[in-house]
Amino acid sequence: MAEQLEQLLHSPLLVLPLNAVAFLFGLMLYRRSGTTLLHPIVGASAMVAAVLWSLDIDYPDYQRASGLLYALLGPAVVALAVPLKQNLGIIRRAGWPLAVTLVVGAALAPVVAILIALLAGATEPALLALAGKSVTTPVALAVADKIHAAQSLTVGIVLFTGVVGAVLGPPLLHRLEIRDHRVIGFALGINAHAIGTARALEISALCGAFAALAMGLCGALTAIALPLLAGVFN
C-alpha cells in the first residue's frame, strides 16, 4: 500500500491535476485582485511548490510526471505565430530597427545577469543556468542540456525572469514615457519571453505580436549562439 501511494505521488495522475488546479487558482486570484503582482504564474508556482515540498517530491520526479505539459509547450509557442501573421505588414516596416534591437537585447540580457552573478560570487552551475534566462522554457531546457546546465535551476531562473519582467516591465516603461505598443511588446518578448508575451497580449494584439516575434527570434538566436560559445570556452 505504501509503495502504491509513493508511485501515485510521483505520477502524472497527481501532478497533472495539481498543475491545472494551481493555474486555475492563480488565474482566479489574479482576476479578483486586479494587480499584476499576483500574475497567475506567481500564484500557481507558489501553490505547486508548497505541495511538492509538503509531499517531499523532488523536481526531477515532478518534471517527468509533467511530461505531457512539457510536450505541449512547443505547440503553444508556435501558436503565437497567429498575432504575427495578423500584424505582418507593420512588422516588416520596422525590420531593421527590430533586428538591431534583437541582437543587442539578446546579447545584453544574459551578459549583464552573468556579470552581476560573477560579482556576487556565483558558482559555475548558477552561471550556466543564467545564460539561458531570456528564452522561453522549452528552448531554455534544450539549451541547458547542450551546455550541461542544471535543468531545475534553469527553469526556476526562466520563470522568475518572466514573472518579474511581466509584472514590472509595463509600469517601468510607462514611467519612462514609452507608450508605443510595438516597443513595449518587443521589450517584453526579449526580457520576459512567454510570460511577458502573455502580458503583452493583455495590452493589445499589436503588443502581443511584437512580443511573440521578439521571443521567437531571441530564442532561436540564443539556441544557436549559446552552445557554440560554450563549446569555444570549454
Mean pLDDT of 174-187: 89
Whole-prediction pTM: 0.74
Q: For 181-220, write each residue's pLDDT tens digit.
A: 988 998 998 888 888 888 888 888 888 888 888 888 887 7
pLDDT of residue 6: 56
Query: Phi/psi at 133 (nearest 5 deg)?
Result: -70, -25
Res. 165 pLDDT band, cuts 50 70 90? confident
Mean pLDDT of the chain: 78
Calculate what percentage of the chain has a pLDDT beyond 70: 88
233 confidence band (pLDDT: 50, 70, 90): very low
User: CB 30: neighbour CB atoms within 10 A?
Assistant: 19
Our measurement of the distance from residue 145's CA atom to the centroid of its chain's CA atoms, rounded to an integer in Å, reads: 17
- Phi, psi for residue 202 in degrees, rounded to 5: -70, -30
pLDDT surpassing 60 at residue 4: no
Say if residue 145's pLDDT is above 80: no
pLDDT for position 214: 86
Instruction: Break the chain into its structural domains and give their ranges.
Output: 1-65, 73-233
